[in-house]
Structure formats: C-alpha cells, structure tokens
Structure 1
Amino acid sequence: MPEPTPPTGRWPGGARCAVVVSVDFDAELPLLAASPEMARRAKTLSVGRYGATRGVDRLLREFADLNVRTTWCVPGRQAEIRPDLVRRIAEAGHEIANHGHGHEDFDHLDLPAQRAVVERASAALAEVTGVPPKGFRVPTGEWDPGLPGVLAGLGFTWTSSLHGDDLPYFHPAAAGGRLVEIPVHHELADHPYFFFNLDPAFPAGQSRIASYQQVLGNWTTEFDAYRRFGLAYVLRLQPEVTGTPGRIRLVRELLEHVRGHDDVWLATAGEVADWWTGTQPDNRPDHPAEVFARHAGSAGGTR
C-alpha cells in the first residue's frame, strides 16, 4: 500500500511529521499535593525525589548527546526548592513550561484560583530562568472552561493537556489569542507503564512495571504511524520514571529510531505552536473543539 501523503506545508521543510519530547519534572510534588501526611513518609517521597537526584541528569545527558531540544513542564515550586537544577535545564537549551505551582488538582479549584496558581508558577519560573513561560500543561484534574481564555490573556501561546486529537488545534475559548493545544496521549507517556509504589499502593490493587521492550515497541509503532499520517507525536516522560539506568536506554533507542528518518521535525512544543499559529487556518466548524465549545455555550458553560 502506498504511503499517504500529508498536506503540503503542514510541517516546515517538507517534514512528514512533528515530534515533541516533553518532560514533566514533578518529583515528590504530586505525592505532597495528594495528601499532606505524605510529608512524613520519607520512603514514599523518595520514589518521586529520585527524579531530581538521578533522573534529570540522565535525561539531560541523553538529550545533549543526541542533540535534541525538549520541553520541560515544571511546577513553580520546583524553581523555589531546586533553582539550580531548573536553571541548568533551561541553560541546556530546553524550553520551560508552566505545570502549576505545587502540582495542584485543578478539580478542586475555581477559575480565579486556577489563574492564581498559574500566575504564581510563572513568577517563580521566570525568577529562575529569566523568561516567563509561554506554555502550560495542567498538573492534574480538569481545568475550568474559562482557563484557555485566561491563559491567552496572560500571554501563553500553547497548552499540552488534552487528548482529543493527534494534530494541534486552536482553543475556541481563547478568542483572538489563537492559543494552540498540542494533544497528548496516555500510550505515549511513561507513567502508565512504569510508575509503581508499594505503600501506599499505586496503582491500587495491581502491579504495573511493564516489559521494557513492549513499551519501546508501543512507542516506536505509534511513531511510525504518526509519521505515516503526518501527525504531531508528543512523548511525555518523567525523570523519576524513565530516568533509571535501564529505562533511559528506551528513551535513547526511541530517539535513535526517530533520528533515523530525515523527514521528521524534532521541535519544542513552543516551536510547534508558533509554526501552527503562523501557517494554519482556524479550526474547521466541525472540529470537535468547536462542536464542544458550541455545546458548552448552549449548556451555560458548566464543567
């Protein structure tokens, strides 16, 4: 069967597809956000802190060796407690995006509170890196329907939080701002395959340390399909999950596979958003985001 040809000009330089490597640098913050009593559980916290202790450096070494610029989604609190590490990530040429402040659950925050979290995190990250972040990834939970408009008003150009497409699109709620969504998918994240803790059990009632080769097979199969159809492949890593001595090899082998194709655009999320904004028309009226926006508006905009 002949290869399908993506629309001309979708990606720069005649590339067939875009690849974004993103890293969520959370460490222990999700555990502390889930329950204050976690502050007394050193063993549990050490599962997350491993990312800051070892995982970040392993990822940075691989990215430098392969000459890959990436996007790091960083809670503002990391810039407060680990400023040197966050600064080193930025100085290595990687993009820093806003990932909340303390990895808050947005389900429990109204729109003013969500805005306050975003602003606090941006201030903390800019204090360390010298550059206000232009991208946002929701830490956990659902954002208020009004948040895309708030983000656009605050100068953000992209988010990478939702799952409803495999190409970028514009947020209808961000009127005039052309805020780009760069979708993510669970099968392209390391956390669902590998994250595991015994006490408290996570995930509850089951083990989850997948076969390394099967995970690599999943990631490369998805990449081959994204390239075939001309889509935007977004890998989502966490230093405490993939930054182990064995799993870091999966990252390298995947990126070597990607690098083996000369028609792939490896870019940061910000670069993808800038390209999409500058070259692509508004969403079609039948795009799911537009349909949902019309439905939400008729329902009163509740979440």
Structure 2
Amino acid sequence: MRFCVLGPLSVVDGGIDRTPSAPKQRQMLALLLMNANHVVSMSQFVEELWEYSPPSSAVAAVHTYVMQLRRTLGGRAAGETAGPGRICTRDQGYVLRVGPGELDLDLYEEEVRVARNSLDSGALARGALELCAAQRRWSGQILVDVPTGPLLHAAIAVVERNRLDAVGRRIRADLDLGRHHGLIGELSSLAHEYAADEDLAAQLMLALYRSGRRVDALAVFHRLRRALRDEHGAAPSHRIQQLNTDILTAHPRLESPSRPQWRLSLDLVAPHAAAERPGPRPGSRVPAVQEFRRRSSHASR
C-alpha cells in the first residue's frame, strides 16, 4: 500500500485507489498519517475535526469515522499476515500502522537526510542532485485537498518549513558550484512567494550580481526592506545590509568561487567555516514530528 501526502491525499493498494472521499474521513486519515505508527488520542481527533466547538456526539462520530476508515483501507501493514488491520485501538486513541517505504513523506525525508550528509562531506554536486531527486516527490502543496484544523495546520507548517530549508541548502550548493545563471528564475519565484525571507533574498541578490545584473540585485534588497517593514515592522539584518554594501562596491568576495569558500546564505560575507545557526536539521523526520506531537499533546490538555 502506498500513502501520499506530498500533494493531494492518496492511498493506493495494488493499483486500487482506496482514498476516502468524505471530508472528515480524509482529515482523520491525514492526521493519522502525519503521526504514522504513533497514537492519536481521542481528544486530538476532536480538536482537529471541530476545533473548540465540538458537538455532544463528537466522540461517537470519531468512532464511526474510524470504522469507516478501517473498511475503506482494509489490508495490513507491509510484512504482516495477520492482525487487526491498519488502524489499531490503543491507549484511548488510534494508531495507523505504516510499513517502511509506504509513506512518501518518510521516503522524502530520508532522501533529504542522505543529501545533507553528502553536502556536509563536501560532495556538493552529488548532494544537490540528491536534493533535486527528493523534491520531485512533491506534486503540490502538502495535503492540498484535505480540510485542516489546528493540529494538521501545525504539522504542515513544520514540514513546509523543512522543505524550504532543504531547497535553500540545494540552492546554496548550486551557487557554490557556479550555477547562478540557472537559479535566477527559481529564486525570483521563491522570493516573490516568501517576500520577507532574507535567505532567499540574499541568494537571489548573489545570483543576479554574479550574472552581471547588479541593478536588479540591489532592487531585490529594496523589495525585501519594504516587505520586512510592511509585514513585521522590522529592518533588514546587518548581514544582508552588508551584502547590499558589497554589491554596491563590487567586493571581490562575491565573485563565483573556483572552489567553495563562502557560506551562501545570510552569511555571504563570512568564511565557510563559520558556525551553522542552531536549530533542527531540515529533512529530519524526528524533530519535525516531535515538535508537532509536543504541540498537539499540549493543546489537547
């Protein structure tokens, strides 16, 4: 059985489409998949489906939806020949059992982890290629056709943030490899979508500058400054202001390196050996899921 969440929700079993059509069942299945092989409590289901205004029949409705999902999915996890089926009752909640390689999100995040290891070891071309392959697993916005409540919204935000981080890593590697000409279109689209993202703006500025478009690179800085002011009431950071100054003065450190020497994010003017910013590693399933489950558990109390 194959479960897909990186785009429209899809469940396919031996060529048979088992994707539920009812909105509440789709929403429950999505929540179970984002917590694959872990228990989702009754209170979490109720909060996700009805937020803060559940009907008096909410618990009974959840039991009914689970029964319908069990009938729709059928089957068992990969490698199992007997057992209660995919959805099991456990600890006053339910768990959806998903086997290795059955969920596209798991496959994607494992591929990103492998790619990050390649980049960290200095294999930039291989790492960039591996990240491109991982990105091809996406067929649109995650769970694009599923209604979302507060718990799914939080889970999706974590995955989307990690996806953007992975894209940034790949672009950074391509810039180090001197592929700036081919990045301008993609970066322009991303910088338009995430107008207040300083990392994307910095990468676009560098790609434009290295392509001989200094005026356009400076225009990106001014658009970023307006977006930060309008959306957050903030000013550009010192590092991207320094990048803007370096572009104005045509500083030699901005030239495309013959070998990787500079970190190509907001730290464009810092040596590559500068310490990475702390935080969860993009593409790592465990931090994303832990963060989501921690928020879910707190909200359900």
Higher relative contact order (CA 8 A, sep 6+): 1
Larger proportion of helix: 2
* Greater strand content: 1
Provide the TM-score with structure 1 as the length reference: 0.26
| TM-score (structure 2 length as normaliser) | 0.27
